[in-house]
Amino acid sequence: MMEKEGERCGWAGPDPIYLDYHDTEWGVPEYDSRALWEKLVLDGFQAGLSWITILKKRGNFREAFQGFDPRVIAEWGEEDVTRLLGNAGIIRHRGKIEATIGNARAWCEIEARDGFDVFLWRYVDFAPLQTRLMRNEDVPAQTELSLQISKDLKKAGFRFCGPTIVYAFMQAVGMVNDHLVGCHVHDRVAALPRNSKFDLLNG
């Protein structure tokens, strides 16, 4: 049974794919390194577009980018860029496609050194930040923390990861729980357990 519109965050809807994304995925902590990278890349493709555009094309993106395996994509070159530019099922933007390949190489370096999951979750002491925002207008577009993460990602070789993109990413992967207090998902997400992998890292 679909919940009332007033029980969701204001941005969710009316498209069913958007409602499902809000109810089941947005804000749920993601701890898998590859999945984190995929989401950051897709948020980069969103720049200048609406998120629902990306959601509707996500299946095409996953097929075109071979399941978003960064170890595979890190080996790609100009021939692959040309192939992707001819794929009408994705966002055909040369800069974003080239950035994805570069971002895959940057991911490989971070993954080999620390783990991309550890690299990101360390910024929030390995536990989601819990907010208690009441109105859509209270939700920030970026924060000092997203600015710092953006700077560090760029230093590591990432592109299309400005502070606004990074904050949207943090919200989506549950690094921060920005579901409004009145949203039916807020408390459920807040109650999810922390990844046990991080227990030793966080003391």
Calculate the alpha carbon distances from 169 to 4, 17, 37, 91, 161 in Å: 26, 18, 10, 18, 9
Residue 191 lies in domain? 7-202
What pLDDT, on a 0 to 100 scale, did the predictor assign at position 7? 87
Q: Judge whether 38 lies within some domain.
A: yes
Q: What is the pLDDT of residue 122?
A: 97
Instruction: Establish if 1 belongs to a structural domain.
Output: no
Is 21 a member of any domain? yes
The pLDDT assigned to 149 comes to 98
For residue 159, is it within any domain? yes
CB 157 within 8 A of CB 58: no
Asked if the structure places residue 35 within a domain, the reply is yes
pLDDT at 197 (0 to 100): 77
The pLDDT value recorded for residue 13 is 82
pLDDT value at residue 202: 59
Judge whether 148 lies within some domain. yes
Q: Which residues are annotated as a binding site for Zn(2+)?
A: 9, 22, 179, 183
Instruction: Provide the domain count of the chain.
Output: 1
In a domain, 2, yes or no: no
Q: Which residues are annotated as a binding site?
A: 9, 22, 179, 183
Asked, for residue 158, whether it belongs to a domain, the answer is yes
Q: What is the CATH number of the domain that holds 44?
A: 1.10.340.30
**How far, in Å, CA of 50 to CA of 17, rounded?**
13
Sign for the pseudo-dihedral over CA of 196, 188, 146, 57: positive
Q: What are the mean pLDDT values of the chain's consecutive 10-residue runs (203 residues total)?
A: 61 92 97 98 95 96 98 98 98 98 98 97 96 94 98 98 98 98 96 80 59
The pLDDT score that the predictor gives to residue 200 is 63
Burial degree of 37 (CB within 10 A; 0-12, 13-18, 19+): buried
Question: What is the structure's pLDDT at 6?
Answer: 54
Neighbours of 171 (CB within 10 A): 22
pLDDT at residue 198 in the model: 79
Q: What is the pLDDT of residue 193?
A: 87
Q: Cα dihedral angle (87, 93, 96, 100), rounded to 10 degrees? A: 20
Which has the closest alpha carbon to 156: 120, 201, 202?
Answer: 120
